[in-house]
Amino acid sequence: MSDRTENLLLILPGLLLLALAFFLPIFQMLALSVAGPDGPTLAHFARFLGDPYYLGILWRTVRLSLIITAICAIIGFPLAYIMARVGPRLRLWLIVIVILPLMTSVVVRTFGWMVLLSRSGLVPELLRDLGLVRRNFSLMQTETAIIIGMVQVLLPFMALSILGVITRIDPRLEEAARTMGCSFLQTLRTVILPLALPGIVAGSLLAFTLSASSFVTPSLLGGSRIEVLAASIYSSVTQTLDWPFAAAQAVILFVGVILVLIPYMKVTGRSHG
């Protein structure tokens, strides 16, 4: 058996799985999204794109995903840097702490936030005691709640992506920068940050795509009044039973994610060959 056929055999199960579990449903979804009573139609897309309500949902989804991604990057970069530079024992513990939330179900974590953020929960109660907010202040069912919950869910993806890159940066580069007269922050900005950029970009992509398509956390923390695209798809499927419209919304989300991925592939393709 030649190398080629061996490789082919090895890759076959993966390809089969991909074809059955990914491409087949995607094609079905594409077909469904243009299905109409009398042949193919773009009416479902027109309905979405012509309605300020649905455009608002799309904009909210994109806007929240960008904010969540940015916050994850701002918290994740220093965290990853510290994790990369401390001793191995401490690093292990830090990694465990970062990964630990991934071991519980997202629903459980979200319920934790619901308890903390509700009107009589710990956080609003504290803010009220400090006299910072009015009597009935609640963080539940706000976009802020969604952002807080999603950042916690997605931070591990960001921190671990950046960590992988930073650990490969030679510490002597930093030492060189310091001896050349850079302050610590200057070193961070001019040496570490540019070198860690591929990790930040990879982590941002993960965080963005995951948060754009997330459904459980936004619907539990945001409530039915703050709808994101994934929740809108869900209600079209289960409540109004309008599957073609749900498929059209899914295609719009899918295309949006692809549009984000393409520039990334271009950028990383250039720098890593």
Partner 1 sequence: MKSAFKTTILGVSAIALTAGAALAQDKTLTINSFGGAYEEAHKKCIITPFEQETGAKVQIVTAYSADAFAQLRAQKDAPQFDVIHFSGGQEIVGAAEGLLAPIDAAKLSNAGDLYDFAKANLAKGEGPAYSIAAIGLVYNSEKSPKAPTSWKDLLDPAIGEHLVLTDISNGYGMLGFLMLNQVQGGDLANIQPGLDTVKKLIDAGAVVVSKSPEIQQEFAQNDAWVAPYASDYAYTLRKAGLPAKFVQGSEGTPASYITASLVANRPNTDLALKFIDMSISPAAQTCFADALRYTPTNSKAELSPEVAADVAYGEDSVKGLIRFDPKVIEANRAAWVEAWKKTIAQ
Interaction between residue 138 and partner 1 (CB under 8 A) = yes
Instruction: For residue 229, give Cα distances in angstroms to 38, 56, 70, 148, 213.
Output: 27, 10, 20, 18, 7
Interaction between residue 36 and partner 1 (CB under 8 A) = no
Q: Which residue type sits at 66?
A: L
Interaction between residue 180 and partner 1 (CB under 8 A) = no
**Nearest-approach distance from CB 236 to partner 1, in angstroms:** 9
Nearer to partner 1, 224 or 271 (CB): 224
Which one of 225, 266, 270, 272 is in contact with partner 1 (CB under 8 A)?
225
Interaction between residue 35 and partner 1 (CB under 8 A) = no
Interaction between residue 167 and partner 1 (CB under 8 A) = no
Residue 46 corresponds to which tokens in the numbers above? 């027109």
Q: CB count, 10 Å around CB of 112?
A: 14
**Nearest-approach distance from CB 27 to partner 1, in angstroms:** 26
Candidate ranges 133-141, 188-196, 207-215, 262-270; the one touching partner 1 (CB under 8 A): 133-141
Candidate ranges 4-12, 95-103, 136-144, 198-206; the one touching partner 1 (CB under 8 A): 136-144
Interaction between residue 240 and partner 1 (CB under 8 A) = yes
**Nearest-approach distance from CB 140 to partner 1, in angstroms:** 8
Nearer to partner 1, 101 or 121 (CB): 121
Query: What residues numbered 107-126 form the site for partner 1, per CB under 8 A?
Result: 114-115, 118-121
Instruction: For residue 188, give Cα distances in angstroms to 70, 73, 84, 254.
Output: 18, 15, 13, 36
Interaction between residue 152 and partner 1 (CB under 8 A) = no
Binding site for partner 1 (CB under 8 A): 53, 56-57, 114-115, 118-121, 136, 138, 140-141, 223-227, 235, 239-242
